[in-house]
């Protein structure tokens, strides 16, 4: 899995850095304590980033790419985690300064993605709302 992460991480960073303005990543700057994304939150965010990228890749392969939709999808994802794109990029760069720990983080991300891949899809009936018990239904 570490070999996979070695290719994925630079790819993700290149996508985000390409969308950032020059000099805005602040890779060499110290990260203020209130800007640090916890490891747990970063792992969950990275899982969702990979899932989003997978969906976007399918769209690109089908010729359905819409850059405005892509940007909005990332905005919504970052908003859900209460982080900005810039904060995400800076945290990735900051965590990469400790390659051993970052590899452990990414191994966990890859394990979670692998578990999701192996999880069978939900059955259509499982998605329906449960019926109310007869005792709760109004009597006429």
Tell me if 93 is assigned to some domain. Answer: yes
The C-alpha atoms of residue 49 and residue 126 are separated, in whole angstroms, by 26
Digits of tens for pLDDT over the chain (140 positions)? 555 554 555 555 545 544 443 344 444 457 888 889 999 999 999 999 999 999 888 888 888 777 788 889 999 999 999 999 999 999 999 999 999 999 999 999 999 999 998 887 777 655 555 555 544 445 55
Tell me if 79 is assigned to some domain. Answer: yes
Domain residues for the domain of 107 are 38-118
Other CB atoms within 10 A of residue 43 CB: 19
The C-alpha atoms of residue 106 and residue 112 are separated, in whole angstroms, by 10
**Number of domain units in the chain:** 1
Tell me if 27 is assigned to some domain. Answer: no
Tell me if 114 is assigned to some domain. Answer: yes
Specify whether the CB–CB gap between 106 and 45 falls below 8 A. no
């Amino acid at each position: 899995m570490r070999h996979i992460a070695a290719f994925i991480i630079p790819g993700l960073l290149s996508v985000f850095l390409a969308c950032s303005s020059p000099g805005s990543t602040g890779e060499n700057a110290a990260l203020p304590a209130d800007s640090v994304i916890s490891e747990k939150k970063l792992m969950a965010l990275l899982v969702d980033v990979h899932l989003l990228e997978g969906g976007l890749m399918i769209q690109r392969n089908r010729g359905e790419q819409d850059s405005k939709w892509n940007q909005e999808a990332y905005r919504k994802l970052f908003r859900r985690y209460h982080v900005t794109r810039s904060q995400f990029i800076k945290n990735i760069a900051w965590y990469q300064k400790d390659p051993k720990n970052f590899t452990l983080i990414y191994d966990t991300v890859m394990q979670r993605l692998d578990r999701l891949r192996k999880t069978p899809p939900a059955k259509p009936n499982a998605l329906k709302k449960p019926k109310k018990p007869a005792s709760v239904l109004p009597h006429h």
